[in-house]
Chains A and B, each alone.
Chain A
Amino acid sequence: MRTPNDLELVHLTKRYGDTVAVRDVNHVFTNGSYVCLLGPSGCGKSTTLRMIAGHESVSEGSILLDGTDISRLPPAQRGTAMMFQSYALFPHLSVRDNVAFSLKMKGIDKAARYKSADEMLALVDMGHLAERLPAQLSGGQQQRVALARALVTKPSVLLLDEPLSALDPFLRIRVRGELKRLQRELGISFIHVTHGQDEALALADEVVVMNNAVIEQAGSARDVFGAPRTEFVARFMGGHNVIDLNGGRYALRADDVKLAEGGHAATVSVVEYQGDRVAVTSKLGETEVLALVPEADFYANPKNPGDAVGLAWDEGRLHRLLA
């Protein structure tokens, strides 16, 4: 399982006075994987990332990269590089100088650093705009420059702090495709912080869901979505119902709920057309149950809010929650 260049968090804790932002987190990030740290705001995901990057001091525990404790090293000596949420490009430097910045700090001569910078810019397809200033670029272009600037240091782990949040929805989908492609080409680990579960599902080899300063669940995107361990994960990933049955609490995927005569009797409360399917929310006693019904099936027997409806599901699709 373990490979060189794995990044390991050991009993990692961050305190601000009395509040704990990250509580005793243990996790191994496998080398060369795309990992998404997913969670609501304030769950500790950004703090974890910033501790790995070295922009936040570690209160307790350690961070191991390739077996060495890097938690006390300055950011540039860790073998990590960070891409900031707002990209943090230097507004007074050209694109090329931005990318070459870290090499300049190391004292590498101009010709050599421009050569490396141009290679990186070519990698992100920005070579033709190397002379521009950041303010003359679009959001997507700035994002690529920021990526090139982070990659020019040849990190073994790239840390991305909500890299897509500043982009419009269409661009976001295109850029996330590019991120994934780049990660595969470079073969290094990407750790990507996000609060969008669709982003995490689309990108991640491994999804790490955080809540209240701890990791709630970690696993492949399919495992986490298909088998949420806790109620929080089920609700946060979306597309799940949480139902109390026979004294236990179960998660049930919304697309596994069918509208059928003779099922559990419920009353429709909201009907939402979503294009390829229809989201029907019904009241089953006190619980609200969401059913995602294929569009054609729904319109074969349409329902309106207030109508009685039968809800049916395959018992085998119920998934027991641990908390």
Chain B
Amino acid sequence: MSETLTDTPASAPQAARPPKPPGSLGRNLLGWLQAAPLTLVLLAFLVAPIVMIVIVSFWRATEFSIIPDFSFENYEFLFGSQVTWRVFMATFKYALITWAFTLSIGFTVAYFLAFHIRSQTMQIALFLLCTIPFWTSNIIRMISWIPFLGRNGIANQTLQNWGLIDQPLEWLLYSDFSVILAFVHLYTLFMVVPIFNTMMRIDKSLIEAAYDNGASGFQTLLHVIIPLTKPGIMIGTIFVVTLVMGDFITVRFMSGSQKANVGRLISNDIALLQYPSAAATAVVLLCTVLIVIGILLRFVNIRKEL
């Protein structure tokens, strides 16, 4: 009897809080284990390299040696140089102009695909058609512009044959024009895809409702479609801006090494084995791009799209 009496109160509190002790630890552990592989991959391939770059950016270098150190020399040189500011401005200019063109082309294409093509088969077929150029490498696509745009290229010859110009146009190749043309060609699809994706999720009855409420086609575009497509536009913008700001090869090829952007600054430093200087530039570029994306995300909430 006394055994059972003392037993009861001892077992009561245990029964009162059963879900907590052993199960929750097990579940937490399981959760951590499930998150571990991706965490390790990200640590090894994303965080560690960036940390490395940041560390190296504080080292010093001479023409023939690299000295581990903690010095602001690289940054002082970077921010003190007129070249840096000009090159950053050029990079922003490329990003801005490319963004404007890819957005207007991408939005138009996505709008056409999403709202004017009725059958889904046709939508998919046309969408795949857009991706065909992407079956070959970036470099090939860039280089194939050169015979087209060159001094005696197809474009100049055709224009001359038509009598529209007397002299070949010099600015077609190895100019800002050709760089931006290549950027737009390379990256428009990155704008089309997210915008198309968002547009396909717009309930078609909303368009009808706008029409029913007396909105013209343009008013529907302005007051219904564009606001609802903003997240897609933002995702496309992030793609294009980061790609253009990080690019160096397009600028080199299409400008015939006559124009510069930040990517080329870094690539030149690397070619000269000035790794600390390259690392410092890379850190500044990374921060710049992050700030740009941070500003963009203040405007539009893209979480719904992810």
A128 contacts the other chain (CB 8 A): no
Residue of A whose beta carbon sits closest to that of B213: A102
Residue of B whose beta carbon sits closest to that of A92: B227
A53 adjacent to B212 (CB under 8 Å): yes
Which of A53, A84, A89, A90 has the most chain B CB atoms closer than 10 A to its own CB? A90
Cβ 8 A contact of B215, one of A84, A85, A86, A105: A105
Known: A90-B224, A91-B228, A92-B228. A153 touches B214 (CB 8 A): yes
Cβ 8 A contact of A84, one of B209, B214, B223, B227: B209
B51 contacts the other chain (CB 8 A): no
B219 contacts the other chain (CB 8 A): yes
Which of B7-45 touch A at CB < 8 Å?
none
Residues of chain A contacted by B215 (CB below 8 angstroms): 76, 101-102, 105
B205 contacts the other chain (CB 8 A): yes
A88 contacts the other chain (CB 8 A): yes
Q: How many angstroms from the CA of A102 to the CA of B213 in the assembled complex?
A: 5
B159 contacts the other chain (CB 8 A): no
Cβ 8 A contact of A76, one of B206, B213, B223, B228: B213
Known: A105-B215, A106-B214. A88 touches B223 (CB 8 A): no
Q: How many angstroms from the CA of A102 to the CA of B215 in the assembled complex?
A: 7
B260 contacts the other chain (CB 8 A): no
Residues of chain B contacted by A102 (CB below 8 angstroms): 213-215
Known: A92-B227, A92-B228. A75 touches B206 (CB 8 A): no
Q: What 1/0 flags go to B121-133 for Cβ under 8 Å of A? A: 0000000000000
**Number of chain B residues whose Cβ lies closer than 8 Å to a Cβ of chain A:** 17
Q: What 1/0 flags go to B186-215 for Cβ under 8 Å of A? A: 000000000000000001011011111111
A105 adjacent to B214 (CB under 8 Å): yes
Cβ 8 A contact of A55, one of B212, B223, B227, B228: B212
Q: How many angstroms from the CA of A151 to the CA of B248 in the assembled complex?
A: 58
Residues of chain B contacted by A88 (CB below 8 angstroms): 203, 205-206, 208-209
Which of A63-97 touch B at CB < 8 Å?
74-77, 81-82, 84-86, 88-92
Q: How many angstroms from the CA of A153 to the CA of B136 in the assembled complex?
A: 55
Which of B214, B215, B228 has the most chain A CB atoms closer than 10 A to its own CB? B214
B206 adjacent to A90 (CB under 8 Å): yes
B208 adjacent to A55 (CB under 8 Å): yes
A104 contacts the other chain (CB 8 A): yes
Residues of chain B contacted by A45 (CB below 8 angstroms): none
A149 contacts the other chain (CB 8 A): yes
Residues of chain B contacted by A55 (CB below 8 angstroms): 208, 211-212
Residues of chain B contacted by A76 (CB below 8 angstroms): 211-215
Cβ 8 A contact of B203, one of A75, A77, A86: A86
Q: How many angstroms from the CA of A157 to the CA of B209 in the assembled complex?
A: 16
User: Smallest Cβ distance from A218 to chain B, in angstroms?
Assistant: 26
Interface residues of B: mostly helix, strand, loop or mixed?
helix
A84 adjacent to B210 (CB under 8 Å): no
User: Smallest Cβ distance from B214 to chain A, in angstroms?
Assistant: 3
B219 adjacent to A75 (CB under 8 Å): no
Cβ 8 A contact of A153, one of B206, B213, B216, B227: B213
Residues of chain A contacted by B224 (CB below 8 angstroms): 90
B211 adjacent to A84 (CB under 8 Å): no
Q: How many angstroms from the CA of A90 to the CA of B224 in the assembled complex?
A: 7
Q: How many angstroms from the CA of A104 to the CA of B214 in the assembled complex?
A: 9
B209 adjacent to A90 (CB under 8 Å): yes
Q: What 1/0 flags go to B215-230 for Cβ under 8 Å of A? A: 1100100011001100
Residue of A whose beta carbon sits closest to that of B209: A88
Q: How many angstroms from the CA of A86 to the CA of B202 in the assembled complex?
A: 13
Q: How many angstroms from the CA of A3 to the CA of B256 in the assembled complex?
A: 80
Q: How many angstroms from the CA of A101 to the CA of B220 in the assembled complex?
A: 11
Residue of B whose beta carbon sits closest to that of A75: B212
Q: How many angstroms from the CA of A81 to the CA of B209 in the assembled complex?
A: 10
User: Smallest Cβ distance from B208 to chain A, in angstroms?
Assistant: 5
Cβ 8 A contact of A74, one of B205, B209, B211, B228: B211
Residue of A whose beta carbon sits closest to that of B207: A88
Which of A121-141 touch B at CB < 8 Å?
none
Residue of A whose beta carbon sits closest to that of B224: A90
Which of B209, B213, B216, B227 has the most chain A CB atoms closer than 10 A to its own CB? B213
Which of A53, A92, A150 has the most chain B CB atoms closer than 10 A to its own CB? A92
Residues of chain A contacted by B228 (CB below 8 angstroms): 91-92
Q: How many angstroms from the CA of A223 to the CA of B164 in the assembled complex?
A: 79
Residues of chain A contacted by B219 (CB below 8 angstroms): 105
User: Smallest Cβ distance from A238 to chain B, in angstroms?
Assistant: 30
User: Smallest Cβ distance from B223 to chain A, in angstroms?
Assistant: 7
Residues of chain A contacted by B209 (CB below 8 angstroms): 82, 84, 88-90, 149
Q: How many angstroms from the CA of A102 to the CA of B211 in the assembled complex?
A: 9
User: Smallest Cβ distance from A125 to chain B, in angstroms?
Assistant: 22
Given contacts A53-B212, A84-B205, A84-B209, 4 further A-B contacts (CB under 8 A): A75-B212, A76-B211, A88-B203, A101-B213
Q: Which residues of B contact A (CB under 8 A)?
A: 203, 205-206, 208-216, 219, 223-224, 227-228
Q: Provide a sorted-by-A list of 28 A–B residue pairs whose CB atoms are within 8 angstroms.
A: A75-B211, A76-B211, A76-B212, A76-B214, A76-B215, A82-B209, A82-B212, A84-B208, A86-B203, A88-B203, A88-B205, A90-B206, A90-B209, A90-B210, A91-B228, A92-B227, A92-B228, A101-B213, A101-B215, A102-B215, A105-B213, A105-B214, A105-B215, A105-B216, A105-B219, A105-B223, A106-B214, A150-B212
Q: Rank and list the top 7 A-B pairs by shortest CB-CB distance, nearest first.
A: A76-B214, A102-B213, A88-B209, A88-B205, A92-B227, A105-B214, A105-B215
